[in-house]
Amino acid sequence: MSIISDIKIQVRLDGTGQPGISVLFQTDKGKSEVFVSVSSSEPISALSLSTLESSIQYAKNAVIPHLIGIDTSDQIQFDAYLREIDGTHNLSKITSEIARALSYANAHAAAIEYENELYRHLGGVYAGDIPLPFLHLSGSETSPYQPVLVPTHTTSIKDLIPAISMIYQKKSSTENGISSTEEMFERVHQICQDVLERFEITLQPGLICKSSYTEEKQYHLNDMVYTSDEYIQYLIEFVQAHDIIYLESPLDGKDIEGYASLTSEIGDKTLIANQTWKTASDAPTQDASIHMHDVLASTNSMAISPSIGTVTDIYEMNKRAQKHGVETIIGDSVIYADPTCAHIGCACGCIGIQIGQNGQGIETLNELIWIEESL
């Protein structure tokens, strides 16, 4: 047994100055400390920081006292207890960020007790497949797309280090002086070509979409308005023209028929990921009429946001998607993966892991390399 004797929680900064949540568990077996970013892609406001501090104070007063004396060895029971204490379907009192940080710390503490690495503790003997890093690039403010680079042929994560270093040193090449989406993807393809020639590593472009969907079931993209069928045809032509291997949130999450049509047309060569839900329940909170079974049946991949909650939530969502033949990617365009997600992704057999151009992204890559070397 590994009994929690003390928990400390506070606001801390990551390597880029973004605030997040630090949690330290003290047990009779040792200490486990984790850090969870609140948001990976947008600067946090003073109001948001005040809300974060209020949430941490709530956790200190109303949550942590209930966790002292608990055995860390049963992760499912620990995560269920967090939801019981919170009492809401979406962890709105504790907040998903704090719940995730507490859940992470518990998982690390349990792994220490069993003298296991976290990925092995969570995944058992079946853990071992390293998710490929999906490398986010900064897009143009005038483009509705954010580019992603996906390695398709590589022997190891460690082999990618020189290429990733070069890519991130050239990151401004996808930002500056761009007048169109076409020009942005010309530069993305040039990066792929440079990496292939220099390192013999094959990368393919992916993209994250930012179109808007109206109540009239129309898609707005820049100054253009499309019906669902017209927009799907536009996406098909764009994907084929640019050899896109990964397409995240191309359609509104409620457009199940659209996803099914798009997957039928190009799903044999392209991973098409529906938007990530914020809950692992059958009826996502965004629209109770849309059931997860329908979502999974309409596409071939899913980007699973760590913000859905606890380790158990993330793990079960991965396994549920995979049971339906859907590939999983951990992280999304708002909440990138963190070092603990590297272990969860390995334990779950995720095909990919979202890596942002920030300090946490580098830490996650380093964690992947460490896991790979320990296998």
Q: Where are the domains of the chain?
A: 4-115, 125-374
Q: Is the four-CA dihedral 295, 301, 306, 312 of positive or negative sign?
A: positive
Mean pLDDT by 10 residues, the chain (375 residues): 94 78 94 82 62 92 96 96 92 91 96 93 85 84 81 84 83 56 87 93 90 85 88 94 93 89 96 68 46 85 89 92 93 77 93 79 88 89
CATH value of 4-115 in 1.10.3080.10, 3.40.250.10, 3.30.390.10, 1.10.10.410: 3.30.390.10
CATH value of 125-374 in 3.20.20.120, 3.40.50.720, 3.40.1190.20, 3.40.50.2300: 3.20.20.120
Residue 141's pLDDT is what?
61
- What gap in Å lies between CA 329 and CA 316, rounded to an integer? 13
- What gap in Å lies between CA 87 and CA 337, rounded to an integer? 27
Residue 284's pLDDT is what?
43
In the chain, count H helices and then E strands: 13, 14
Residue 117's pLDDT is what?
93
Residue 288's pLDDT is what?
47
Residue 183 zone, left/alpha/beta (φ > 0; ψ -120 to 50; rest):
alpha
- What gap in Å lies between CA 27 and CA 17, rounded to an integer? 30
Residue 217's pLDDT is what?
85
Residue 167: CB partners within 8 Å, gap ≥ 6?
135, 137, 149, 191, 195
- What gap in Å lies between CA 339 and CA 108, rounded to an integer? 12
Instruction: Measure the CA angle with vertex 120, ends 97 and 311; round to 5°.
Output: 20
Which phi and psi (to 5°) does residue 150 adopt? -120, 120
Q: At what angle do helices 228-242 and 256-266 cross, to 10 degrees?
A: 30
Residue 285's pLDDT is what?
42
Q: Is-contact 160 200, C-beta < 8 A?
A: no
**Beta strand pairing status for 224-227 and 202-209?**
unpaired
Residue 89's pLDDT is what?
85
SS3 138: coil
Report if pTM > 0.85: yes
Q: What share of the chain is helix, strand, coil (3-state, %, to 5)?
A: 45, 20, 35
